[in-house]
Structure 1
Amino acid sequence: MLLAALDQTIVSTALPTIVSDLGGMDHLSWVVTAYLLAATAATPLWGKLGDQYGRKKLFQTAITIFLIGSALCGMAQNMPQLIGFRAIQGLGGGGLMVLSMAIVGDLVSPRERGKYQGLFGAVFGATSVLGPLLGGLFTEHLSWRWVFYINLPIGVVALAVIATVLHIPVRSQKHTIDYLGTFLIASVATCLVLVASLGGTTWDWSSPQIIGLAVLGVALAVVFVGVERRAAEPVLPLKLFRIRTFTLSAVISFIVGFAMFGAMTYLPTFLQVVQGVSPTMSGVHMLPMVAGLLLSSTVSGQIVSRTGRWKVFPVAGTAVTALGLLLLHQLDVNSPTLEMSAYFLVFGLGLGLVMQVLVLIVQNAVSYEDLGVATSGATFFRSIGASFGVAIFGTVFASRLGDKLTEALAGQQLPPNLGTDALESDPKTIAELPVALRPPVIEAYATSITDVFLYAAPVALVGFVLAWFLREDKLRGSVTAPDATQTLASNPVERSSYDEVCRALSVLGTREGRREIYEKITERAGYDLLPAASWLLLRIRRYGWAEPAVLAERITVPLQVVIEAARQVEERHLAVREGLDLVLTEEGRVAAGRLATAREESLAELLGDWWGPDRPTDLAHLVEELNAEMCGSDTEMPRKERVPKPVVGRVA
């Protein structure tokens, strides 16, 4: 996960240096786009193949492909080679993202899953900050090639560890993989991105090549719709688009990806070429944007989870993002660091406000069987938006830069090797210009980059208008703020509906979550007991007995809490001692039965309208599993050598 997440951000600060070394400023955007497109297209396939053939070998294959791509990227001798090798790296990166998440689901029970998903979120938060910094450090002190080579030692260690210690239970699921649908949607996206990036620069908009690509893209889209209607397990079910919330969220996700990755690709170029900062410092300058994004996404997620109100966030987020883009347009050669940091912060705050919520409202809008594919669909559109954003920003930048340089240098006597083309393809040649000619050329770069942000602002405003049409349906109890892996990842994470509900309910596995649920079920059952006393009664009901002192040694509940719970159930005559063991009285069995019913009702209530008469069997199994696990797993039995004593027939 660290490798895949790092490669989305580490390249950005190295791009100006890569362009200077390999040439081809007009192809700069494709270094990012190739990775995003390949990873986006491959991710659903990795997810389905993992279900069908087992994840361990597939995970090792994904890491190997990623490492081969990384090594080739580091050895690239020209821009077309680098772009091709980035696509290979993206194919592996998509597998790293989805399989690492799915393997956690294989290994960890719902009760424990929350803490591990927190680690994944921490990895994403760390890489979003470390990526630009490390990219700058490697570029400045080693070589831009180390941006890719750094993956090799980490990846080799990961392969060795996985080979020796990863033991996954075999849970093969037969899937009908939608190869044709995956190929078609990737082809449609590629055609449209090629039109966006090559039109008006490499070829005229009216050229046969651009018209041909556009027609091919539309034709493939029509074929894709026909294929998806008949596919047994479509990569993107068309019925989702009949749900207004999903369709609007998909479009807004596209816009967020468009704005975020487009800006992240060109801000380092502005900082290094226009402001003259080092690659390392350009990473430092971008930290306010990352900080704003992490802060607002975390805070908005917490507020939504606690209040159940969410519509204000996509509305405010798109508005603040548009404002951030307009502020970025105001930057110039003389902009002070404080002003730039403030503008970057505003832009990051806007993105964070809307990113977190879009996944959540999609999960809330669809039926249970579509939960997994709707989640991956929402992030899929952000990935496609990112590819388009980078490509279109690149086209606008290249087109504006050519015009501005021609205008700035009109009538000027230039050295023979420093024409407009040379200055356009390699920003480092600016240093070779006569001192008097440098300011207008730097100004041309500044204006070209900041104009990109101006043209992106109306796209963000379209998102703002669409956000008003979202209907604020009441949130299901189980739909909580998504973890950072869903909001910061650029690739869709393909998970089943069962996995999604496990994630949503995994908060119950934390100590705070369990305490809260036991408070609620105690009140629901009509008792005035400590939460730990209710837990203890249910545990005794499950195993037939409990020895408080030994129990406290084996579990995470503190000894004092267990002793107070034991004292209360004895004082209320709900349990009595048999030697060192506590066993239920008749009154205790009645109370434990009512608590068990209340607990199952509470869990089912969290699932809202997914828990109907025709509920899926896997969902019923999940509630049963969580219900049992909240008493403690079998490995936490006080004395393993003892067989649980039957409850029936005990003498009170």
Structure 2
Amino acid sequence: MEHLEQRQKIIIMLAIMAAMLFAALNQTIVGTALPVIVADIGGMDYFSWVFTIYMLTTSITAILVGKLSDTYGRKPFILVGIGIFIIGSFMCGTSTNIYQLIIYRGFQGFGGGMIMSTAFTAVGDLFPPRERGRWQGLLSSVFGLASVFGPTMGGYIVDVWQWNWVFWIFLPFGIVAFAMIWKLFPNVTTDEKASVDFVGAVLLSSAIIPLLLAFSWAGKTYAWDSVTIIGLFTWSVIALVLFITVERKAKNPIIPLKLFKNSIFTISNVGGLLMGMGMFGAIMYMPFFIQGVLGISATKTGFVMMSMMLSMVTTSTIGGQLVTKTGRYKIFAIVGLLTMGAGMYSMSTMTIDTTLTGAVINLVIVGLGLGLTFPVLTLAVQNAVEHKYLGVATSASQFFRQVGGTIGVSVMGAIMNVVMANKMEEMMASSGGATANLGNLQAMEDPQVLMDPDKVAQVKESVPPEAVPMFEQVIASMREILSTALSGSFLFGTFILGGAFLIIIFLKEIPLRMTNETPESKVETPLESSKASS
């Protein structure tokens, strides 16, 4: 497909970007609207499953479709993915209870996984590695734009219209993208159709699902040392061992294990996993600081978080252009990780005296580094493998980043909760019963309640007038506790990004190929990989 006319390539890329924007917006817009949705249809106890089921089905589909698209072409999967996502989006808007919404979101996730997996891979079909940098950067910027506008639009829609339109408003994007790809996207398949590795697919799913569930539930729904969490981890390990055993003998493995002998593939994916831990940690827990410590409203917090995403969009676009122009990519990953690490460390030093401007500057620094690093690691993987492995290599890169994000959010959350619990015990012990006149203080025994200004106001109203000064002192102490807890989480993220930096230092940079048809000898082989020095 790299021999198509440039005009046709650009039109196809616009269609792919429309499909990705459609999927990404549907994902980011739900977060803001979900409280209103749950208030209408009920099911607060199953609130988290709306996100969890989507994450599971997306992750599983992306990794499986990567290999299948290498054999049967990208076009069928991206079309089916868009179709499933359109149907799933429409059905989500018709939900009358939380159970229907969870089922429809899971169905929607199958389509989202197909779209995300084939979209980044299609760039590799359309353009040789030397030209992919600018397009990978533009695709990455789509995620940033969705993260910028999605939450704000979600809040606006539920305030002005009915919540159903959160799922319906972007359906035209999907329909237009489907029509464009159907008409313009040529399908390229391999000459030989090997059998599908169904056993490997089942075992891989059996390893991934309990792993993601364990990290999603640990420290929240269940304790880390609970039978449920330990059982899920054990199940995942056993399934992984069986998967490796089967894949070694499979004629057409769902993930060729020999790819891990390629140093660039392995180092890039490990670096991507660690980067995902830091990236998603910043995205998830910085709002806790902005709302809980600084006392900024949820609506304004969305605008503050825009600074991180806009800086990411800027550097991912500029960085992609520079990669294409210079043919170099490792330096951008190194500079990006250093910048992210500096921003994360600066976050760990924030206190209750930090200004909103200071928080925004830290977000911008993290975003600048993220934009430089995000597209480079996928490009490095694509450039290091034979074209016949393009789909599975690209989907593996996305999968490792997703797993990293799940692990990072869980571990950083655990650190935050442990520190908060210890500090709260110290505060209660030091008060010596002086807080007895504060009335409903038990309602605020968790500093995370600071994220809900209405609840804080309700508790304050129940406090006797003479105890209001002490109540405000307790609130200030709780803000300080939350700030200290978040500092520990961000410091962990700093060390993780430092680890990613050290790993990427050993990434071997090979010239970006000028064509997808370069002979295998021009690509790093497992034997060359074992001899390569960084």
Fold conserved between structures, TM > 0.5: yes
In the TM superposition, 1:330-349 aligns within 5 A as: 330-349=349-368
Distance of 2:268 and 2:314 partners within structure 1: 22
Which residue pairs with 1:95 in the alignment? 114
Q: Which amino acid aligns with 1:429?
A: K
Distance of 2:161 and 2:101 partners within structure 1: 11
Which residue pairs with 1:441 in the alignment? 478
Q: Which has the higher contact order (CA 8 A, sep 6+)?
A: 2
Which residue pairs with 2:440 in the alignment? 415
CA contact (8 A) 1:363 1:375 kept: yes
Tell me whether 44-53 or 247-256 shows the greater mean CA deviation. 44-53
In the TM superposition, 1:467-546 aligns within 5 A as: 467-472=504-509, 474-478=510-514, 501=516
Distance of 2:67 and 2:282 partners within structure 1: 33
Aligned-pair Cα RMSD in Å: 4.3
CA-CA distance at 1:83 after TM superposition: 5.9
Which residue pairs with 1:258 in the alignment? 277
1:199 aligns with 2:218: yes
Which residue pairs with 2:464 in the alignment? none
Q: Deviations over 1:585-630 (max 9, x none)?
A: xxxxxxxxxxxxxxxxxxx7xx794499xxxxxxxxxxxxxxxxxx
Q: Which amino acid aligns with 2:346?
A: L
Q: Which amino acid aligns with 1:188?
A: A
SS at match of 2:170: helix
Q: 1:241 aligns with which of 246, 251, 260?
A: 260
Q: 1:150 aligns with which of 166, 191, 206?
A: 166
Which residue pairs with 2:457 in the alignment? 431
Distance of 2:120 and 2:375 partners within structure 1: 18
CA-CA distance at 1:54 after TM superposition: 8.3
In the TM superposition, 1:178-217 aligns within 5 A as: 178-217=197-236
1:466 aligns with 2:503: yes
Distance of 2:339 and 2:394 partners within structure 1: 24
CA-CA distance at 1:38 after TM superposition: 2.0
The verdict on how the C-alpha distance between 1:316 and 1:80 changes in structure 2, with shifts beyond 3 A counting, is farther
CA contact (8 A) 2:383 2:513 kept: no
Which residue pairs with 2:243 in the alignment? 224
The verdict on how the C-alpha distance between 1:146 and 1:464 changes in structure 2, with shifts beyond 3 A counting, is farther
SS at match of 1:270: helix
1:361 aligns with 2:380: yes
Distance of 1:425 and 1:26 partners within structure 2: 22
1:311 aligns with 2:330: yes
Distance of 1:229 and 1:407 partners within structure 2: 54
The verdict on how the C-alpha distance between 1:241 and 1:608 changes in structure 2, with shifts beyond 3 A counting, is closer
CA-CA distance at 1:254 after TM superposition: 0.4
Which residue pairs with 1:125 in the alignment? 141
CA-CA distance at 1:343 after TM superposition: 0.6
Q: Which amino acid aligns with 1:139?
A: G
The verdict on how the C-alpha distance between 1:155 and 1:15 changes in structure 2, with shifts beyond 3 A counting, is closer
Distance of 2:155 and 2:393 partners within structure 1: 39
CA contact (8 A) 1:402 1:420 kept: no
CA-CA distance at 1:305 after TM superposition: 3.5
Q: Which amino acid aligns with 1:464?
A: F
Which residue pairs with 2:411 in the alignment? 392
SS at match of 1:418: helix
Distance of 2:93 and 2:481 partners within structure 1: 31
CA-CA distance at 1:344 after TM superposition: 0.7
Q: Which has the larger radius of gyration?
A: 1
Q: Deviations over 1:84-123 (max 9, x none)?
A: 65433322211233456778999xx879xx89x9789656
TM-score by length of 1: 0.62
Q: 1:298 aligns with which of 317, 323, 326?
A: 317
Higher helix share: 2
Tell me whether 153-162 or 462-471 shows the greater mean CA deviation. 153-162
The verdict on how the C-alpha distance between 1:345 and 1:191 changes in structure 2, with shifts beyond 3 A counting, is same
TM-score by length of 2: 0.74
In the TM superposition, 1:588-607 aligns within 5 A as: none
CA contact (8 A) 2:294 2:352 kept: yes
Distance of 1:120 and 1:363 partners within structure 2: 11
CA contact (8 A) 2:448 2:482 kept: no
The verdict on how the C-alpha distance between 1:312 and 1:278 changes in structure 2, with shifts beyond 3 A counting, is same
CA contact (8 A) 2:310 2:367 kept: yes
CA contact (8 A) 1:423 1:430 kept: no
CA-CA distance at 1:190 after TM superposition: 2.8
Q: Which amino acid aligns with 1:128?
A: G
CA-CA distance at 1:220 after TM superposition: 0.8
